[in-house]
Amino acid sequence: MTSAREALLTERPVGILAGGGPLPAQVAEAVTARGGQVFIVGFQDFVDLPRIAHWPHKVARLAAAGEILAALREAGCRDLVLIGPVRRPALRDLRPDAEGARLLARIGRALFGGDDGLLGALVRVLGEEGFRIRGAHEFLDRSTGRVGTMGRVAPDALAMSDIARGIAVVRALGALDVGQGCVVQDNLVLAVEALEGTDAMLARCTALRQPGPGGVLVKTLKPGQEKRADMPTIGPRTIENTAATGLRGVAFEAGGTLLTDPEACVARADALGVFLYGIGPEMMAIKGS
């Protein structure tokens, strides 16, 4: 009997549109481990080239859509995975090729909106071009965490209250397509994540931390977020920066967050004495949480 994960694979290579970090290579490893093939398009100035060098690949500018689509079609790709951080360039720096200009025109006003609108439009346009967009979580299902405490340190009642407050904050900000994370200490919101990213937000919190027990980093999906293009991500460095900031732990939406290295995340959390907690659907669904 074919498993659900095996059913994701076809005789055609899975195309991976690769930004930075380790996740593009992890998706490639997961696909090939199940007997599939991959073809990677790495975005110039973002992709970690040594990580993808093992697989068939091409490096292209972000706005070179004609070159990218031609390479994917020549490789026989139909299913695509968009994975890895890419900093959104200023429009004047895009320098799109002719195909890129055509696609940008079809994306329209979403280009100037928040990430969700832009990524949703990109998924739609790629679908219209004959591709099927897959979420990285469909291949990295073991990297989306689990509900509850994942290490030796567990959140106490105060931390759970801060987690609930953080969920409410991200839910409110996410409705405006602002960010996927925040830091809460004793019900006080120390910082919210915007364009700068999680690490920079944590760095700001070092000077904002209040007396008393340290706060909590909370990462969740935005309401209605397109999971196939931009899931929240945490890794061992997130855990290290959380501890360095004086926070007591990290809470993430289980099944809705990618852990770049789950075992290393748990090991770092245990070594540094902070918790790593997967938020379940019941807590996510609490009204006003």
Find, among 120, 129, 77, the residue nearest to 100 by Cα: 129
> Tens of pLDDT along 175-193?
787 778 999 999 999 999 9
The amino acid occupying position 142 is R
Q: How far is CA 65 from the centre of its chain?
A: 22
> Tens of pLDDT along 31-71?
999 999 999 999 888 899 999 999 999 999 888 888 889 99
Is residue 276 within 8 Å of 243, Cβ to Cβ? no
- Among 116-120, 239-243, 276-280, the range scoring the smallest mean pLDDT is 116-120
- For residue 4, what pLDDT is reported? 42
The domains found in the chain, sorted by start residue, are 6-139 (3.40.50.20), 144-285 (3.40.140.80)
Q: What is the CA radius of gyration of the chain?
A: 19
Highest mean pLDDT (candidates 46-60, 116-130, 175-189, 274-288): 46-60
